[in-house]
Structure formats: C-alpha cells, structure tokens
C-alpha cells in the first residue's frame, strides 16, 4: 500500500483545519518501523489538538493522534519484525511526529511496545494513553507505600478515560475507591466499576483550606488547579497524590501545609516521554490487573471519521469511559 488515508491538520486563513487526505509513503516521517494501523482512540490531549484550544501540535501540517495499535509491515529495528502486533503511546506523536489518525505510520522502534496477548488490538486502544497513564499512577502510589491497608484512594474525573480505568484498577487491587465526578448520573456506572463511594466534583472545585479533613491515603487527579489543591489538603498523614492532568487548570493554589505538616507527597506522571522500560512494566501490570470485562463495559467503538466531532465533547467532559476507532483498510 503506497498510498494511505490520514487526517491532516493544517493552517488556513480561517485558522486550523482538519482534512481527510490521501498521502503516500514519502509523506511519512523518519523511523525504523512502519506500522499498518488498525485501531486508535481519543484522549484529552487529542481533543486539545483538534480544537486548537492549546497548541499541543507544535508543527503543521501534521497527522494527530497520540495512540495507535497495528501490525508491523516493515522494520529495521532488531526488536520488531513484520507481523508483530504493536502499541504506541505518546513520544510526541500527534504533536511533533505524525500520529495515529491514519492507516499507516513510520516511527522509531524504541517508541513501540508489543501487544500483550491478553488484549485484542481494539482493547489496547480502549486502554490507550488514558489507561496506561492510570497504571503509571497506580505504580507511583505503590512506590510510595500507598497500599489498600493504608486507606481509601480518591480518583477525580472518575467517569473519564483515566478515571474510569483507575477506578477499575484500584478496585481489582483491593482498594476502597472514592470516585469524584461532575456527572451525578454516572454514580451507578462508577459503582459498577468498583467505586465504594461517589462524591460530587463541586466538593473539590473551590479554593482549598490550608489543611482539610483527612479523607484518603492517596489520590489520582486529572484536573489540577483547585481540585488538586483540595485533594492534597485532604490527604492523610504520609499519603501521596498523583497529578496526571490539567482539565480544570495548570495552576496549583495550595499552601505548603500538607507537605510540611502531614508529609504528603505530590508525584507527577509524564506518560509522553516515559522510558520504554517503565512502559513495558505498565503494560505487563495492565495485562495482569485490569479486568477485561470492565474494560469492555466502558468502551464504545466508533468509526474514525467521528473523531473531529468528538474532540469538543471530550474537552467538555461529556465522554464516558473510552472510545475506540477502527481504522478502515
């Protein structure tokens, strides 16, 4: 297949425009592995890129999409051969390198992870960067000694991509999960994933006190700003809060009190440039700890052509769970 179809974002007099285009292999970027893409997904960062709300795409024209799954068609990398099923998450794809909203990609083999046998290609994209980030966050809490016996864990943005998988993972690992959401109608959905308690997002959205009531031993936050500040001030002594996103804002209006009076740790997660070794561990743990039935429960499959329309929806918090796109041949 010398030619392939791709969604290309470019500049026009009216601003950014996303157009489905016919490209050739000569349009692909440098890399030692070529992949025929079968599935992709949409993450919060993809929504930012497609709407232009934040300049996450740092060169144009460019194919967006920070995740993809597919089959190697050609490789000069020693770890990958034609026919291997592979996953890509991040590494600047969809930002500085052509990404996953296409039938084909050429990337560095060091960016790829082989698909765990327990997951189908579609399921790896139901996980995607969102689920891989959730597992990195779980690993970070475990590394700080936040195990089930330490107390409950908070998950903010619990009905979204990172949050829904985090709720499922923590539940499977034996934690008591407190799920925070701005969509009260999703309470039963979150409890079906394993949440023990569901609280309103409004409880965490306002300005934080220097210290609040100790309510959880650990937390995964996708919002930043006041939500992250409140999560920190309500964390138990010696606890840990993991920051993974900025849905509410990039600021952090909090005092030093949680850190110097309760010994709370704030840990950051970077899923884009995380080393390959850490990625392999995360995917191995996902294969072991993620309930595939729950994953399928939160997954909706849509045609790739829907991705542009879904971008503002994911930014507005109106997307539940995970969306998988099948890339037509």
Do 4 and 89 meet the contact criterion of CB atoms below 8 Å apart?
no
Average pLDDT, the chain: 94
- Number of Cβ within a 10 Å radius of residue 277: 8
My answer on whether 91 and 31 are in the same domain is yes
CB 298 within 8 A of CB 320: yes
Tell me the C-alpha distance between 67 and 320, whole Å. Answer: 18
For residue range 156-185, list pLDDT tens digits in order: 999 999 999 999 999 999 999 999 999 999
Are 73 and 9 in the same domain?
Answer: yes
Number of domains in the chain: 2
Tell me if 73 is assigned to some domain: yes
The pTM is what?
Answer: 0.92
The pLDDT score that the predictor gives to residue 328 is 73
First to last CA, the chain: 10
Its domain, for residue 48, covers 3-115+298-326
Residue range 231-254: mean pLDDT, rounded: 97
Strand pairing partners for 168?
none
- Residue 266 structure tokens: 């704030």
Residue 53 banded pLDDT, cuts 50, 70, 90: confident
Beta carbons within 8 Å of 237's beta carbon, 6+ residues apart: 214, 262, 263, 264
Tallying the residues shown for the chain, one arrives at 329
Tell me what pLDDT residue 1 has.
56
Q: What is the pLDDT of residue 14?
A: 72
In a domain, 160, yes or no: yes
Q: What is the pLDDT of residue 24?
A: 95
pLDDT in tens, 131-160: 999 999 999 999 999 999 999 999 999 999
Q: How far apart are CA 197 and CA 200, in angstroms?
A: 10
Q: Is residue 17 part of a domain?
A: yes
The domain that holds 212 is classified in CATH as 3.40.50.720
Q: What is the mean pLDDT of residues 36-44?
A: 95
> Domain check: are 162 and 240 in the same one?
yes
Same domain? 103 vs 134:
no
* Helices 121-143 and 276-289: angle between axes, nearest 10 degrees: 100
pLDDT digits (tens, 9 = 90+) for 109-131: 999 999 999 999 999 999 999 99
**Residues linked to residue 173 through DSSP beta bridges, in sequence order:** none
3-state percent breakdown (helix, strand, coil) of the chain, nearest 5: 35, 30, 35
């Amino acid at each position: 297949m010398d030619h392939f179809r791709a969604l290309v974002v470019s500049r026009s007099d009216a601003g950014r425009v996303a157009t489905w285009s016919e490209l050739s292999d000569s349009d692909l970027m440098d890399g030692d592995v070529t992949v025929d893409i079968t599935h992709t997904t949409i993450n919060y960062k993809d929504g930012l890129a497609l709407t232009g709300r934040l300049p996450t795409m740092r060169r144009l024209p460019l194919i967006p999409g920070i995740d993809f799954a597919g089959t190697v068609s050609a490789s000069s990398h020693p770890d990958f051969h034609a026919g291997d099923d592979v996953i890509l998450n991040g590494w600047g794809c969809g930002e500085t390198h052509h990404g996953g909203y296409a039938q084909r990609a050429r990337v560095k083999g060091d960016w790829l992870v082989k698909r765990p046998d327990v997951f189908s290609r579609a399921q790896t994209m139901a996980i995607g960067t969102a689920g891989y980030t959730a597992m990195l966050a779980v690993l970070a809490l475990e590394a700080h000694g936040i195990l089930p016996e330490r107390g409950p864990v908070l998950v903010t943005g619990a009905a979204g991509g990172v949050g829904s998988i985090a709720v499922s993972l923590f539940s499977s690992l034996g934690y008591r999960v407190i799920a925070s959401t701005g969509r009260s109608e999703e309470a039963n959905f979150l409890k079906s994933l394993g949440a023990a308690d569901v609280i309103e997002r409004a409880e965490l959205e306002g300005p934080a006190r220097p210290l609040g009531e100790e309510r959880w031993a650990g937390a995964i936050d996708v919002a930043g700003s006041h939500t992250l500040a409140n999560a920190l001030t309500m964390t138990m002594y010696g606890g840990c809060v993991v920051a993974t996103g900025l849905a509410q804002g990039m600021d952090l209006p909090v005092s030093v009190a949680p850190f110097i009076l309760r010994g709370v740790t704030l840990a950051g997660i970077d899923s884009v440039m995380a080393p390959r070794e850490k990625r392999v561990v995360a995917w191995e743990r996902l294969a072991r700890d993620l309930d595939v039935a729950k994953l399928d429960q939160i997954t909706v499959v849509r045609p790739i052509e829907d991705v542009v329309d879904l971008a503002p929806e994911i930014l507005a918090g109106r997307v539940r769970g995970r969306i998988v796109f099948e890339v037509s041949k």
